[in-house]
Structure 1
Amino acid sequence: MAEVFDCSDPSQLLAGTRTARRAIGQGELIVLPTDTVYGVAADAFTPEAVERLLAAKGRGRQSPPPVLIPNTGTLAALAAEVTEPITALAEAFWPGGLTIITRANPSLSWDLGETGGTVALRIPNHPLALEILQETGPLAVSSANLTGQPAARSAAEARGMLGDAITVYLEAGEVAGGGTASTIVDATETTAEGGALRILRAGGVTREAIAELLPKVAIEG
């Protein structure tokens, strides 16, 4: 039976975060709030947990989940190379609604699915999500919904779709962003001189803001 914690209650908040951290450590799934939508999270370095995440959503390995991280130092550890444009994007828009796809560090021991050697990274702008990430390290996180359904804006909405596939639900009210997902950019072709960047999904960060920040980069999409 899934446990639900009302994080507006300080006593439930403390119990909820402890239980959520324990669940992640045991390879189980949690639902937590982010600044964009609610997410279902698993330990990024536990392949069985990532498999559970994909199964809960009804997705296959061809749709690997993004990874939420607590700080930019983790970006340097997970990416094969952090180009100047990636650094600029991270400094300008993190924490916030931008997911950056980059080449993954080949030495990492993880299995997120069919990634083609890349990883999608983001730092969420939500205090509860950041608190948990500081304790757990990188989490594979996808929107808390069944594939094809609207992204959950509350833990209650997520529970209605995902049920007991989730061990812990952290309810923190409706997300402030109104359910707007993050912008996803493919930065694998960026270089020190500029290179190219593709916008794969429009969201919380506009194309205009990215183009203004990176005048030497060819923006596609």
Structure 2
Amino acid sequence: MTERSRARLIPGDDPGVPAAAADVLARGGLIVFPTDTVYGVAAAVDHPEAVARLYHVKGRPLDRPIPVLVSDLDQVPRLTGEVDPLVLDLLQRFWPGALTVAVPAAPWLPREIVRDTGRVGLRMPDHPLALAIIAAAGGALATTSANRSGEPETRTAAEADAALGDRVDLIIDGGPAPGGVPSTVLVVDGRRLTVTRRGALDPEEIVRAFPEFTLS
């Protein structure tokens, strides 16, 4: 599609939504869908050119990696390689939910996702429609908030359409995103957790549950 075209908009309660979204993604397209925090815009992780397009449609700085949303914990080893068992315990405790963890990236992930960090940010959203879409697309999607960089995050399909509707291929209207606040982002380095964005989850709650970790 050209940037002068409007994205196709479909209701999230249509049972064919996951398959339709997966088809667009498999062809290198971009989709917008609701999560538990805000609406997201996504590309398939194995389509580097589509991930690169995310930077263009958002006006996102190239030094900011694109996080990856997953449908289940089994995706973590595929995207990171060897995983610290305690980190897996942490994810099992706080996923699905508003927590993104940046961990060492698997070598096969495209540079468009990892950039120069050597890490990938992973999150499992607490939203049934989002999880169904991600699972249908292979279990992992490069996803960032569906807004132009520097502008407010979008909580409805109409807001996302106004922001990006002429720049993406499909918008899924799943009603208002229930959270409205982006996820908390932590970089995991051994037993140290570095907060790079304070969001919906209080980082102190994590260290209360897992005192083996320290916050910085």
TM-score of the two chains, using structure 1 as the length reference: 0.90
Alignment of 1:30-49 (within 5 A): 30-49=31-50
Give me the whole-angstrom Cα distance separating, in 1, the residues matched to 2:146 and 2:38. 8
Any gaps of 5 or more consecutive residues in structure 2?
Answer: 1-5
Query: What is the CA distance between 1:23 and its match in structure 2?
Result: 0.7
Aligned to 1:7: 12
- Aligned amino acid, residue 47 of structure 2: T
Query: What is the CA distance between 1:97 and its match in structure 2?
Result: 0.5
Alignment length (residue pairs): 209
Aligned to 2:131: 130
Q: Residues 133-160 of structure 1, C-alpha deviation per residue, up to 9 Å, x if partnerless?
A: 1111210000000000010001110110
Alignment of 1:1-221 (within 5 A): 1-8=6-13, 13-106=14-107, 108-111=108-111, 112=113, 114-137=115-138, 138-177=140-179, 179-187=180-188, 189-190=189-190, 195-220=191-216
- After the TM superposition, which parts of structure 1 deviate over 6 Å for at least 4 consecutive aligned residues? none
> Is contact 2:19-2:136 (8 Å) kept?
no
Give me the whole-angstrom Cα distance separating, in 2, the residues matched to 1:147 and 1:21. 25
Any gaps of 5 or more consecutive residues in structure 1?
Answer: none
Distance 1:15 1:217, change over 3 A: closer
Give me the whole-angstrom Cα distance separating, in 1, the residues matched to 2:71 and 2:128. 10
> Is contact 2:45-2:109 (8 Å) kept?
no
TM-score of the two chains, using structure 2 as the length reference: 0.92
> Is contact 1:33-1:129 (8 Å) kept?
yes
> Is contact 2:24-2:30 (8 Å) kept?
yes
Query: What is the CA distance between 1:109 and its match in structure 2?
Result: 4.5
Give me the whole-angstrom Cα distance separating, in 2, the residues matched to 1:95 and 1:115. 27
